[in-house]
Amino acid sequence: MGGTLPEVGQPAPVFDLDGVAPGPDGAVRQTHLATADFGGRWVALYFYPKDFTSGCTLEARGFQRDLANFHARKAEVVGVSADDAEAHLSFCGSEGLAYPLLSDPGGVVSRRYGSWMAPFSARHSFLIDPDGVLRASWVAVRPSGHSQEVLAELIRLQGETVL
C-alpha cells in the first residue's frame, strides 16, 4: 500500500487538489479545493479507485443519498480518486452528485492517507473534525452501506446533537 495510514487523533494530512464541485447555482464545474476551504466543518473524505465502476458508483450514490443528513450535521462529503476533472464532471453529471470530487492523478494526497495502490486510490474513508483532526478511519471499505457507517460515526462523535 502506498503511503502511511494517518493516526486517528492526529492532525489530518492536508489536501490541495483540482476537481469538480457544485457552485452556488447547483451546477457542477471545475474547481480547486484545499483543506482550508473546509475550516470549521466536518469532512467525510473518501478515496475510491475509479469513476463509473460498479463499486465506486454504488458508494458515490450512497453518499449522495445521505448528503442532506451530512449537511444537517455541518459536514461536507468529498471524494478523491486518480481520475481527472473531466471524468469527475461526467461522473457527477451522470450520477447527479452534488458534492466535490477531487483529482489525485499521481497519488500525492492518497499516499498521505495510506490509500495509494498505483495507479488508483484504494477504497479508504476518513472523518475530519472542524479543527482538522482525524477522528475516524475505514480501510478496505465495502461500498454498499458505507455512507451510513460514516454518518453513524459522525453522529456518535457529535454526541447525537445536530449542530
Q: Which active-site residues does the annotation give?
A: 56
8 A C-beta contact, residue 126 and residue 113: yes
Q: Which residues have C-beta within 8 Å of that of residue 136, sequence separation ≥ 6?
A: 8, 126, 127, 150, 153, 157
Distances (CA, A) of 27 to 23, 34, 152: 6, 20, 29
Q: Phi and psi at residue 13, in whole multiples of 5°?
A: -60, 145
The Cα–Cα gap between 81 and 101 comes to 8
The grid coordinates of residue 121 equal 486510490
The grid coordinates of residue 120 equal 488508483
8 A C-beta contact, residue 21 and residue 63: no
